[in-house]
Amino acid sequence: MNKFLKELIELNRLERRLKELEPVEASIKAPLIKLENQKKSLEERLEKLEEEIKNLKLKKSKNELLIAELKDKLKDIEEKQAKVKTEKEFKALQIEEELAKEQIESANEEIARFEKIIEQKEEEKEEILKEIDKIEAEITITKTDVDKKLETVEKQKQEIHKKRDDLIKNMNPQIYRFYEKIKRWADISAVTPIKKQACTGCNMKINDKIYSEVLKGEEIITCPHCGRVLFIEDEDKIQE
Ligand SMILES: [Zn+2]
């Protein structure tokens, strides 16, 4: 077989293998990414809860402030009552006193209501914190496993890269540029086998003349329809 064609087939084979390792890496990382996403969504829930608790505490303290003001008012009323001269004045103060007392009572009810909600939210927060702890432990274990698997793939990749670099170094630069040009649009299918006398890149039939030239393998032949470099895979040759 033509030396240049052989080199192109080999270069393309190496690049295909590199490409095939991409989904392998992604599937190795997948369980870790899943756990990290779970952790992230829990952290978001936690943040929202903390914000809600903060708001509830603020509402609670507003009511406490109101109670303090009302208690001052009650003291004021008490002082005035000691000084009033008419029954009418006394009655008016009594109405004011009752109103203030009612307001205190309802503020206390509000406070109790807020406290109950805060308590529920704090409990929910605790649960989430526990879940986050659990997931973090899972992440640690999973990460060790994922890193180990990735390391193996990384080694494979380095080996292929080295072979590829060595091959390119020894290749005719013109042939390499020619290949790179096809690769710009065809990517890793730049060199593609003929199957059932059709180009596997564009699926078009190859005429007998070109097919027999490709079979000979004496020259670099490109597909007349799409421009990819054609070759016959060994197992196809045996069938001939
Ligand atoms: Zn083609």
Q: What's the whole-number mean pLDDT along residues 167-171? A: 96
- Which domains can be identified in the chain, with CATH numbers? 10-170 (1.10.287.1490), 174-239 (no CATH)
Residue 99: C-alpha distances to residues 80, 81, 93 (Å)? 16, 15, 10
Q: Which pLDDT does position 240 carry in this prediction?
A: 41
CA angle 222, 171, 224 (to 5 degrees): 5
Lowest average pLDDT, out of 24-33, 132-141, 226-235, goes to 226-235
Give the pLDDT confidence of 64-85 residue by residue, as tens digits: 999 999 999 999 999 999 999 9
Residue 86 per-residue DSSP state? S
Burial bucket for residue 62 (CB in 10 Å: 0-12, 13-18, 19+)? middle
169 CA from centroid of ligand 1 (Å): 28
Q: Are 100 and 73 in contact (CB under 8 A)?
A: yes
End-to-end alpha carbon distance in the chain: 17
Question: Helix, strand or coil for residue 196?
Answer: coil
pLDDT (0 to 100) of residue 101: 97
pLDDT digit string (tens) for 85-96? 999 999 999 999
Q: How remote is the CA of residue 124 from the centroid of ligand 1, in Å?
A: 62
Ligand 1 center–CA 202 separation, angstroms: 4
Rounded to the nearest whole angstrom, what is the distance from the C-alpha of residue 144 to the centroid of ligand 1?
45
In terms of Cα–Cα distance, which of 209, 212, 208, 215 is closest to 231?
Answer: 215
Q: What is the pLDDT of residues 195-233, one digit of tens each?
A: 999 999 999 999 999 999 999 999 999 999 999 999 998
Q: How far is the CA of 215 from the centre of ligand 1 (A)?
A: 16
Helices (H), 84-194: 87-170, 173-186
pLDDT score of 234: 72
Q: Is the C-alpha dihedral spanning 227, 232, 236, 240 positive or negative? A: positive
Q: Is the predicted pLDDT of residue 145 greater than 80, yes or no? A: yes
